[in-house]
Structure 1
Amino acid sequence: MCVPRVVDHEVRRREITNAVRKVMARGGLDAATFQSVAAEAGVSVRLVQYYFGTKREFLLATHRAVLDDAAARFGQQVAALGEDAAPRDALRIILTELLPLDDVRRQDAIVLDAFYAAALTGGDAFGMTDSRGGLRALVDVVADNLRRARRTGASATAPAVDLDAELVALTVVGLTQAALDPVVAETAPALVERLLDRMLGPVSEGPVAKS
């Protein structure tokens, strides 16, 4: 007796959103159609329509997949630091992980740029309100680490932390776009370190040992 093959629907959805990412990285958001995505994924157009009834649905799912992947990457690295990790170390990992310093992150940066460009035009498929969730999440995680790093003092108050966190997040978003240029990418990690210096002070090298 032939046993029907069990389909993992989440795996199938992931295959399709991965295809959307590849299509968008090559040709932008307008290039992502049911036909082009189906061809990239090696499935039928009907199957893409089965999992995502509209173009907006697969675009929103793809946008979320890019953000979730970035969060998973830096989440694993921060967790590896241990519970007593310094907030500055966590921030360095989070901000540097967003930079397009390898093929995977470069593709993600191009895709997010395409989403943002589409949001600016106010189209029906993807709008500005759809793009804000990722930035808000980044601001929140930066604010949490800034607060832990400062602990006391005027710079630890809610208004100061919130504004600084937004400044850091927006700066790194802009740096991520600029670092698609390989020349900028070479100095991008150093610029992140400089940004942390400005927000938290230079890293202390500790007392100089007496000879």
Structure 2
Amino acid sequence: MPRLADHDQRRKQITDAARRVVARDGLGSATFQSVAAEAGISVRLVQYYFGTKRAFLLATHQAVVADAGARFARGLDALGSDPTPREVIRTVLAELLPTDAARRQDTVLLNTFHTAALTAPAEEPGIVADDTLSAPRFLVRTIAEQLRRIRPGGPASPEDTADLDAELIVAATAGLAQTLLVDPNAAERADALLDRLLDRMAAG
């Protein structure tokens, strides 16, 4: 009796192929045909698992975000049972920087999706801005929680600026990630830049 297909594995095969196509050729090149060819499967099979182009683009974006989340989890586990807020924030931020091939590809992919959300015609059922915002919003919430661990008061305090500061930290790290994509020499300064950012924004 033939073994039933592992649907999660098949979806991963397709989204992995889509990631390679987008990273190599751009988002516009990610069609049912090109992704099927990259994955070595039939177009009909891609259509079976993802009925529309938007569906497999969303799944591809979510796969990139999920991989980043898994890296966050591994990094945080490595800190042990009682890390300081600064250690948590720094570990999360370091995982956002394209300092190896996998992170570089993911950064390029996320940038590609973000650009598509900004530039795609409204009538095209592609990626839109709301599709790309869940990950940065999660990062802001996570960092704000850690900032509040080292600051007096709390969310109800009129002096509480944790949310704003967390947004600035995420934005600054995103800018550093962009720099690393185009300036390999910046990698030598990445650790020092992160530490300087946290010295100013997460002291305590």
* TM-score under structure 2 length normalisation: 0.91
1:80 Cα offset (Å): 2.3
- In structure 1, runs of 5+ residues without a counterpart are 203-211
The match for 2:20 is: 22
The match for 2:194 is: 192
**Of 103, 106, 109, which residue of structure 2 is paired with 1:108?**
106
CA distance in 2, matches of 1:191, 1:30: 35
Deviations 1:20-46 (A, max 9, x none): 111111111101111111111111111
C-alpha RMSD of matched pairs (Å) = 1.8
The structure with the larger Rg is 1
Residue identity matched to 1:168: I
Residue identity matched to 1:180: L
- Residue-pair matches, total: 199
The match for 2:86 is: 88
CA distance in 1, matches of 2:7, 2:157: 46
The match for 2:146 is: 145
- In structure 2, runs of 5+ residues without a counterpart are none
CA contact 1:122–1:128 (8 Å) conserved in 2: no
Residue identity matched to 2:40: G
**Of 58, 71, 78, which residue of structure 2 is paired with 1:60?**
58
The match for 1:168 is: 169
The match for 1:46 is: 44
Deviations 1:139-186 (A, max 9, x none): 111111111132x15899474001001111111112112211212233
* SS at structure 2 position matched to 1:194: helix
CA distance in 2, matches of 1:186, 1:36: 37
CA distance in 2, matches of 1:114, 1:82: 35
* TM-score under structure 1 length normalisation: 0.88
CA distance in 1, matches of 2:86, 2:101: 26
Moved over 4 A (4+): 153-159
Percent of aligned positions that are identical: 54
CA distance in 1, matches of 2:149, 2:69: 20
The match for 2:29 is: 31
